[in-house]
Amino acid sequence: MSKFSVSDKAFDRLNFLFVLLVTLIIIYPLIFVISASISDPHAVNTGKMWLWPVDVTLEGFRRVFQNDAIWTGYKNTIIYTAVGVAIHLFVLLPASYALSRKELMGKRVWLWFILFTMLFNGGLIPTYLVVRNLQMLDTIWAMVIPGVIGAWSILVARTFFQQTIPDQLVEAAKIDGASDIYLFIKVVLPLSMPIIAVMALFHGVALWNQYFNALIYLRSEDKFPLQLILRQILILNEVSADSASSAAGSAQSFADQIKTASLVKYAVIIVSALPLLIVYPFLQRFFVKGVLIGSVKE
Amino acid sequence: MGKDQLIQNGRRARFKKNFLRNWQLYLFMMPVFLYFFIFHYIPMYGVQIAFKDYYATLGIWGSEWVGFEHFERFFSSYYFWRLLKNTIILNLYMLVLFPLPIILALAFNELRNGAFKKWTQTLTYAPHFISVVVVVGMLVAFLDPNTGLVNHVLRAFGLDAIPFLTSPDWFRHIFVWSGQWQTLGWSTIIYLAALAGVNPELHEAAKVDGATRMQRITRINIPSIMPTIVILFILNIGNFMQIGFEKVLLMQNTLNSETSDVIQTFVYQTGILEGQYSFAAAVGLFESAINIVLLITVNQIARKVSENSLW
């Protein structure tokens, strides 16, 4: 018996070390970015800064806040996310509720109609042509309508309604003469805050982070969301980081521009991820819950 | 009147009655119906441009049929095999790493210190919320040949700096492992939920019989979560060839295109950028077709072998 408990202890220690190692590897790049955003770029670029900030400076953040393109992108992203989430809920909730009710006829047909889109879709080009033919190119609608909902969200929300809204409640309300719309707004929605939060969060994060729809559907730069601006700065290295000073100082040395570029890089990552970083610790359990409700059906 | 006719009439009357009483529920279905119809079923109808010569002025219906011309052109082009090979290798590489989240979930599950477990879970989930643009941006910064941290480390060990992001040899490794960095923690959630449902009596009985921790994991935990594993594996196959194309596009450059050119980026390139709508739609359709065949095949096999399947 004691032999087992000794090997159990060894197992626990090894397992602890394994999880610790994986966690450290995963968070190291994040710590690096945070430290780099407030360090002197020279120290970052020469490899002197590798964990904690070196020669702390807030210059990067100052230049990010002076940059008009970033502000415009930020504003656009907030608008797209807010409008997109609102439309998402408007499309998702009534339909999922209706699908959870036994009075709705043709349920199998409805579900096939929705689920078939998981199996097959027309693909990038035919979808693009539909958006183009609807005159949605280069408008906010191209950002929020295509992809506003997926079959998966409907299944998850429907499962939630089935489990939380008792039939007796609905029947009692109907006997009292309540219409479905009244019942849905006054009774069902107030009982459904958890699923509304989960769905809004999932869709909100997806909208905040997406760049590809903007890449193919938007033309004018003043409509670009933050992710497209980030792509220009971080990946394409098109740094107009400090428009005022770079215009004035083309002679202000190439080296200085590179310095600005690397200063702004890390700061802009932090600024773009800030809303998510702030809410994430509080909302983590909601996200986890969302994944779990989704897997119930399986 | 035949019997069938009577039944049909009865059905129609029943539906009419139901509709009059519950019309608001059908109204609730309208936004979803319209969305899927316009943005999923009309594009499915539009897929026919893959067999036509699409001109915007003629419309989908008015454009001329050309049969399999675009497919033939694609299959006989010199880049066809390169695209197919790159797409398959990249996805197989990702598929090979499918067990990693299972291993991490099993490890999380064995942790006895609750606070430590909670913290490590929270921290490993975090990268899931970072946008793909930022992830690639971080790669660009970390892997820069002159200023990147990784190359500083290589130089410190007396090695030569490596231009990772412009090297065809490195593209797949960087793509796949940065993806693991982002999704590893998050992917454990479903497995952890399945592990929480393992019957504790099985473990008690195994303990009495003197089973070690490792034995209990391999003989009890893994078999218990096998249904979940099979379902997720099928779903993974269903996304085969499609995962992460948006990230490939961000990581792609002329110097690494030898390995980073995949079917989806090619569709984007020829369709959206060059406006060859019919040709690009044909290439996209070819890919969807492979996907469906794969999904159905794997689902059939899973049903035979393990009795777990999507349908």
Residue B27 near residue A104, CB atoms below 8 Å? no
Per-window interface: B 220-249 vs A, CB < 8 A: 228, 231, 238, 246, 249
- Measured between CB atoms, which of A95, A126, A291 is closest to B49? A126
Q: For residue A15, give both structure tokens.
A: 């397992």
For residues B89 and B50, membership in a common domain is answered with no
- pLDDT at res. B241: 63
For residues B11 and B94, membership in a common domain is answered with no
Domain count, chain B: 2
Instruction: Give residue-wise pLDDT tens across range A246-291.
Output: 444 454 556 666 667 777 889 999 999 888 878 877 777 777 777 7
Please tell me if residue A54 touches chain B, with a CB cutoff of 8 Å. Answer: no
pLDDT reading at B268 higher than 90: yes
| Contact assignment for A125 to B271 by CB distance below 8 Å | yes
- pLDDT at res. A294: 63
Residue B311, in any domain of the structure: no
**Which residues of chain A have a CB within 8 Å of the CB of B35?**
91, 145, 148-149
- pLDDT at res. A33: 93
For residues B37 and B98, membership in a common domain is answered with no
Those residues with Cβ within 8 angstroms of residue B229's Cβ, 6 or more apart along the chain or in another chain: B102, B191
Those residues with Cβ within 8 angstroms of residue B135's Cβ, 6 or more apart along the chain or in another chain: B127, B178, B182, B247
Instruction: Give residue-wise pLDDT tens across range A100-157.
Output: 988 888 889 999 999 888 888 888 999 999 999 999 999 999 999 999 998 889 988 9
Assign A247 to helix, strand or coil: helix
pLDDT tier at A82, thresholds 50, 70, 90: very high
| Contact assignment for A121 to B250 by CB distance below 8 Å | no
The single-letter DSSP state of residue A187 is I
What is the SS3 string spanning chain B?
CCHHHHHHHHHHHHHHHHHHHHHHHHHHHHHHHHHHHHHHHHHHHHHHHHHEECCCCCHHHHCEECCCHHHHHHHHCCHHHHHHHHHHHHHHHHHHCCCHHHHHHHHHHHCCCHHHHHHHHHHHHHHHHCCHHHHHHHHHHHCCCCCCHHHHHHHHCCCCCCCHHHCHHHHHHHHHHHHHHHHHHHHHHHHHHHHHCCCHHHHHHHHHCCCCHHHHHHHHHHHHCHHHHHHHHHHHHHCCCCCCHHHHHHHCCCCCHHHHCCHHHHHHHHHHHCCCHHHHHHHHHHHHHHHHHHHHHHHHHHHHHHCCCCC
- pLDDT at res. A242: 45
**Which residues of chain B have a CB within 8 Å of the CB of A7?**
212-213
Per-window interface: B 18-57 vs A, CB < 8 A: 18-19, 21-22, 24-29, 31-33, 35-36, 38-47, 49
Mean pLDDT in residue range B46-63: 88
Instruction: Give residue-wise pLDDT tens across range B167-225.
Output: 999 999 999 999 999 999 999 988 998 898 898 999 999 989 888 888 999 999 999 99
Cα–Cα distance, B84 to A100 (Å, whole number): 43
For residues B21 and B160, membership in a common domain is answered with no
For residues B250 and B110, membership in a common domain is answered with yes
Cα–Cα distance, A54 to A213 (Å, whole number): 38
- Measured between CB atoms, which of A90, A179, A276 is closest to B31? A90
Sign for the CA dihedral angle at B282, B288, B294, B296 comes to negative
| Contact assignment for A235 to B104 by CB distance below 8 Å | no
ipTM greater than 0.95:
no
CA distance B271 to chain A (A): 6
| Contact assignment for A266 to B39 by CB distance below 8 Å | no
pLDDT tier at A78, thresholds 50, 70, 90: very high
For residues B108 and B133, membership in a common domain is answered with yes
- pLDDT at res. B39: 95
Tell which of B65, B94, B113 closes a domain. Answer: B65
Instruction: Give residue-wise pLDDT tens across range A141-153.
Output: 999 999 999 888 9
pLDDT reading at A1 higher than 60: no
**pTM score of the predicted model:** 0.89
Cα–Cα distance, B127 to B185 (Å, whole number): 8
pLDDT reading at B307 higher than 80: no
The mean pLDDT value of chain B amounts to 90
Which structural domain, as residue segments, surrounds residue B164? Answer: 73-306
pLDDT reading at A245 higher than 80: no
Please tell me if residue B274 touches chain A, with a CB cutoff of 8 Å. Answer: no
For residues B47 and B110, membership in a common domain is answered with no
CA distance A119 to chain B (A): 7
Per-window interface: A 153-192 vs B, CB < 8 A: 154, 179-181, 184
For residues B53 and B118, membership in a common domain is answered with no
Please tell me if residue B125 touches chain A, with a CB cutoff of 8 Å. Answer: yes
| Contact assignment for A103 to B21 by CB distance below 8 Å | yes
The H-or-E segment that residue A51 falls in is none
Residue B269 near residue B204, CB atoms below 8 Å? no
Residue B230, in any domain of the structure: yes
For residues B46 and B7, membership in a common domain is answered with yes
**Which residues of chain B have a CB within 8 Å of the CB of A291?**
189-190, 193
Tell which of B49, B65, B81 closes a domain. Answer: B65
* CATH assignment of the domain containing B250: 1.10.3720.10
